[in-house]
């Protein structure tokens, strides 16, 4: 995740505009180097399952065959847990553990319906909604802006 490379069917002159459009669509911040025109800095909002935050990195681009090669290098990472989801999963586990001990104490069988409801609730509210949107998805968006098909991606 520290380095990501993508080949796109765009010219070097078209890349800053394509990156700016993709950054605007993602709510990211793109600042081009301007005079050098060989890259810039990208602040990208990301979601990795139960973690979310921003990744800050340097984007460099160079000609490569018919298109260009984008290389993103991670500089800073600011991630935090989604506390509400973690709290709900913790409550679910706390409800399930005593219910699993019912063979040793039959009175705990009364907790089984509650534990079942909590497990289904955790599935519907947390686990089924987990998603990932990071650098790979962002650069796929940049590549989709290519005038030609032929997006090639590789992570290093």
Q: How does pLDDT run across 35-79, given as a tens digit for each residue?
A: 566 788 999 999 998 999 999 999 998 888 888 888 999 999 999
- Whole-model pTM: value is 0.73
Q: In which element (H, E) is residue 18 found?
A: helix 15-26
Q: Is 32 left (phi over 0), alpha (psi -120 to 50) or beta?
A: beta
Q: How does pLDDT run across 110-120, given as a tens digit for each residue?
A: 888 888 888 88
Q: How does pLDDT run across 126-152, given as a tens digit for each residue?
A: 888 888 888 888 988 887 765 543 334
Please check the confidence at residue 80 and state whether its pLDDT lies above 90: yes
Tokens representing 74 are 């991670």
The span from the CA of 16 to the CA of 30, in Å, is: 9
């Amino acid at each position: 995740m520290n380095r990501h490379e993508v080949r796109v069917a765009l010219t070097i002159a078209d890349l800053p505009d394509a990156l700016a459009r993709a950054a605007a669509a993602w709510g990211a911040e793109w600042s081009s180097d301007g005079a050098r025109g060989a890259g810039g800095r990208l602040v990208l909002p990301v979601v990795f399952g139960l973690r979310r935050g921003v990744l800050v990195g340097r984007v460099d681009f160079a000609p490569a065959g018919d298109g260009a090669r984008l290389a993103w290098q991670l500089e800073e990472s600011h991630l935090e847990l989604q506390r509400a989801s973690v709290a709900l999963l913790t409550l679910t586990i706390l409800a399930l553990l005593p219910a699993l001990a019912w063979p040793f104490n039959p009175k705990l069988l009364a907790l089984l319906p509650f534990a079942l409801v909590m497990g289904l609730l955790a599935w519907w509210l947390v686990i089924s909604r987990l998603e990932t949107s990071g650098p790979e998805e962002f650069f796929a968006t940049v590549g989709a802006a290519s005038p030609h098909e032929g997006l090639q991606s590789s992570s290093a």
